[in-house]
Structure 1
Amino acid sequence: MKWKKQIIYMTGIILLLLGNIRLPVQAEEAPEEPEDLYARSAVLMDADSGRVLFGKEEHVIRPMASTTKIMTCILALEEMEKGQTATVSQNAARQPKVRLGVQEGEEYYLEDLLYALMLESYNDSAVVIAEEISGSVEDFADQMNEKAAALGCTDTHFVTPNGLDGEDEEGIHSTTAKDLARIMRYCIMESPKREAFLEVTRTKEYSFTDVEGKRSFSCSNHNAFLDMMDGALSGKTGFTADAGYCYVGALRQGKRTFIVALLACGWPNNKNYKWTDTRKLMEYGLNNYEYREIEAGADVLEIPVEKGVNDKDPYQKTTTVRAAVKESEPLSLLMRGNEKIEKKTELPKTLAAPVKKGQKVGEIICLLEGEEVGRFEIRALEDVRRYGFGTAFHSAARKLLL
């Protein structure tokens, strides 16, 4: 029986030791990115920073169909005056389906036409708006391209205000998923008319008449995404034979705002592919990205100063200045759990006297996946006077007197 007691005793010792052993912690793995998307081009973007969180052929240029109308709408909102009206031209009245059915010579309020444009995606409404704002479709397209360039959309070219397939001397009517998401970001985050844009695109039903009140119209919002997910904010569908089904939409939950852009997301009879892809990308963003605060750090640095007064040795023509990061708010970034910020300190090898307290002397640059996401300024903590013969003489004399 003695050997049995020994086995029990040794087993207990082993279990006790195992209980105190700490296994190495596995590094947090990157979440699996969305797979099997129907869209040929897709982007998930952080609306606050403009950072692409996920991309699939996001730089490939493709037709964009009626997602074009987000640019038409925001330009009209920024350019039109309250109560401005427009008279229908022959060109506008001849636009193909889908259309409101305006007739040449009729007059409408531009604000009403924006609802027809964004809720029902009427092609004739787009042309009436474009001709009123810029005088012609061609001139309005130039204005659209100027705005796109100003937003950094280098791979976008507008030909039509309604998104119908078109071509001119400079190329076909097209964009990329990344550029389309960038335009939506401007519409909902940066434009001075962003609130008006959201009001139009979130409206479920809208009714209006022509200026004379002879004809009445009703519009219903066809953006099904508004009822698909909590926080759905805005969006625009599109379809042409060349473009296929397209979509751009935005969602906001708490502090997080995501934008999804899809191009070539199926052809008939696959109208609902865009909703499947949109949900998948939005859920990927919601499940994997949270805001984190990035601190610059509080280290005090010393930088050599040429021809600066050294209080300890007045004959020495070099000294140092203490410097540190300027007090500021932490950098708040939308990040995955496994992502890390790389910090790069940029400081000169030497400074030239004089140096003033509070003077900017360098920066800490924050990089995420090689791209800059923020900066912290480094400033001098003290004054450093410039060295001169008089400075050395007075310092030496003062020491002798003391």
Structure 2
Amino acid sequence: MKNMKKLIIFLLVSAFFIAMIPQKASASISVSAQSAILMEQGSGRVLYEKNADKPMRIASITKIMTAILAIESGKMDEMVKVSEKAVHAEGSSIYLIPGEKIKLEDLVYGLMLRSGNDAAVAIAEHVGGSLDGFVYLMNQKAEEIGMTNTHFANPHGLDDHENHLSSAYDMALLTRYAMNNSKYKKISGTKVYKSPHPEENWDRKWTNKNRLLTELYDYTTGGKTGFTKRAKRTLVTTATKGKLDLIAVTLNGPDDWNDHIQMYETGYKTYSLVEVLSEGTIKEIDDEFYKKKVYVDHSFDYPVTSKEKNKFRIEYKMKKPNREWEDNIPDIVGQAIVYFNEKPVKTMPIYYKQGEEKDKQSFFELFRSLFTAMIGVKTDG
């Protein structure tokens, strides 16, 4: 009996302490998808993940890469002649006509809103010179962005290659990159678009397939849908509430609309942005040479829970002044390293305020005064 009482007391105490352990926000999220991620756009911090690094089939969310490459090509105003190969692409279509000429910008809208595979091939042929040439550009850009679990084999995401794969994390990285482009951001967030029809008096009208954007979730700002028989449902969306910009990705998610809403709602309830480093003069640097003369050109915000706000540390690494600077002080004289939980999360350049010195002494005089101060000799003897 005594042993039984001790066991009960032990279990109760254990349960109490387990309950006191802080839980991650992701503990309250349960998604249908085989792979998922929730990322804060500005910092890239991962707020929730499930098998996020697993390479999987991605279907038409592939077209995010196709779209950003088209936009960055600088050819958006060019007219594209549609080939027979483009017209006969399988699956979803914007019903292009062989030989028609259509603006590249219109093709990108058709690609993103209606997931046109014909548009994807037409874009690839025009921007890359050929499908193979465009696929090379896709993989080159993926490497540049840091998509280490990705290999593209086509511009549309159809299951015509075994090695056309990516991960939820990589697709979030790609979306984060793309959302920094204002043209992509506009196209991705467009609900309805009209494009001139080459053979009719009426325009083609394309309504976005992203139901989170068009009807289900008011905070949605963009994204891309996807589906093939082998990949199943894939979805990338973006959302903004207050100052918090989030990116959600699900791969093979039978209930993906609700998966994304649940991730967003949990993220907005759990996290808020805090300003870790303010734009402008860095007051913490009181070195005689740099005091009131160095600054950062933009602020840095980071998403945290209410219990994480005191876990930041900022380290300032400054270049040592030297005689070579007398006539030309560098614009960048150091860096600010932001640590969160003792891990570096951001490095920012520190700039020198050129031509704003109020002290009339020359650089050499200031350098000499610093030197004499260091060896303990006063300027008056």
- Same topology, TM > 0.5: yes
Aligned 1:38-49 pairs, distance under 5 A? 38-49=32-43
| 8 Å Cα contact 1:109-1:210 kept in structure 2 | no
Task: State yes or no: 1:197 paired with 2:191.
Answer: no
In structure 2, relative to structure 1, the CA distance for the partners of 1:234 and 1:363 (3 Å cut) is closer
Partner of 1:250: 238
Which residue identity is paired with 2:168? A
Q: Report deviation, 1:177.
A: 0.7
Indicate how the Cα distance of structure 1 residues 164 and 372 shifts in structure 2: closer, same or farther if over 3 A, else same: same
CA distance in 1, matches of 2:50, 2:246: 16
Shift of 1:386: 9.8
Question: Which of 332, 336, 347 is residue 301 of structure 2 equivalent to?
Answer: 332
Q: Which residue of 1 aligns with 2:272?
A: 290
1:208 deviates by 2.9
Contact 1:354 1:386 in 2 (8 A): no
Q: CA deviation at 1:292?
A: 1.5
Q: In 2, distance between residues paired with 1:44 and 1:126?
A: 27
Helix, strand or coil at the partner of 2:275: strand
Q: Could you list the per-position Cα deviations for residues 272-317 of structure 1 after superposition, in whole angstroms to 9, with x for gaps in the alignment?
A: x000110011111111111223369966789xxxxxxxxxxxxxxx
Segment of structure 1 superposing worse, 63-72 or 351-360:
351-360
Equivalent position of 2:217 in the other structure: 229
| Residue identity matched to 1:274 | D
Unaligned runs of at least 5 residues, structure 1: 1-25, 267-272, 303-320
Count of matched residue positions in the alignment of Structure 1 and Structure 2: 337
Asked if structure 1 preserves the Cα contact closer than 8 Å seen for 2:221 and 2:237, the reply is yes
For residues 94 and 218 of structure 2, the distance between their equivalents in structure 1, rounded to whole angstroms, comes to: 31
Of 364, 372, 382, 2:344 maps to: 372
With over 3 angstroms needed to count, the CA separation of the structure-2 counterparts of 1:65 and 1:346, relative to structure 1, is same
Distance 1:163 1:210 in 2: 26
Instruction: Decide which structure has the larger Cα Rg and report it.
Output: 1
Change in Cα spacing, 1:202 to 1:301, as seen in structure 2 (3 Å) is: closer
Partner of 1:172, secondary structure, is coil
Give the structure-2-normalised TM-score.
Answer: 0.75
Question: How far is the alpha carbon of 1:204 from its aligned partner?
Answer: 2.6
- Checking the alignment, whether the CA contact within 8 Å between 2:89 and 2:118 is kept in structure 1 is yes
The residue that corresponds to 2:96 in the other structure is: 102
> Could you tell me how far 1:100 is from its partner in structure 2?
2.6
- How far off its partner does 1:81 sit? 3.1
Q: Identify the residue that residue 261 of structure 1 maps to in structure 2.
A: 249
Contact 1:141/1:160 (8 A) holds in 2:
yes
Paired residues for 1:41-60 under 5 Å: 41-60=35-54
Deviation of the 1:31 alpha carbon = 5.1
Taking the aligned partners of 1:109 and 1:331, their CA distance within structure 2 comes to 39
| Structure 1 residues 298 and 79: CA distance shift in structure 2, 3 A | closer
> Could you tell me which residue of structure 2 aligns to residue 309 of structure 1?
none
**Sequence identity percentage:** 29
Deviates more, 1:86-95 or 1:370-379: 370-379
Change (3 A) 1:98 1:42: same
Looking at structure 1, the residues matched to 378 and 274 of structure 2 have their Cα atoms a distance apart, in angstroms, of: 54
Match of 2:311 in 1: 341
Larger deviation: 281-290 or 26-35? 26-35
Q: Could you say if the C-alpha distance between residues 354 and 285 of structure 1 is closer, same or farther in structure 2, counting changes exceeding 3 Å?
A: same
1:102 match: secondary structure: coil
TM-score where L is the length of structure 1: 0.71
Report the more deviating stretch, 125-134 or 364-373: 364-373
Deviations 1:48-104 (A, max 9, x none): 112212111111111110001111112112225354222222211221122233343
Q: How far 1:334 sits from its partner (Å)?
A: 1.7
- For residues 75 and 336 of structure 2, what CA distance do their matches in structure 1 show? 45
How far off its partner does 1:106 sit? 2.8
**CA contact under 8 A between 2:369 and 2:379: conserved in structure 1?**
no
Give 1:174's aligned amino acid.
Answer: L
Distance 1:48 1:28, change over 3 A: farther
> Does residue 138 of the first structure (1) align with residue 127 of the second (2)?
no
- In structure 2, distance between residues paired with 1:330 and 1:28: 33
**Residue of structure 2 equivalent to 1:12:** none
1:44, distance to aligned residue in structure 2 (A): 0.7
Distance 1:41 1:354, change over 3 A: same
In the alignment, what sits opposite 1:77? 71
Check conservation: 2:295, 2:351, Cα contact below 8 A.
no
Alpha-carbon RMSD across the aligned residues, in angstroms, is 3.8
Paired amino acid for 1:99? S
Residue number in structure 2 paired with 1:17: none
Provide Cα deviations, 1:15-56, integer angstroms capped at 9, x if missing partner.
xxxxxxxxxxx9994454243211111111111112212111
- The one-letter code sitting in structure 1 at the alignment partner of 2:307 is N
Residue in 2 that maps onto 1:310: none
Match of 1:177 in 2: 168
- Matched with 2:29 is 35
1:219 counterpart residue number? 206
* Matches of 1:341 and 1:231, distance apart in 2: 29
Question: Structure 1 residues 330-339 or 147-156, which shifts more?
Answer: 330-339
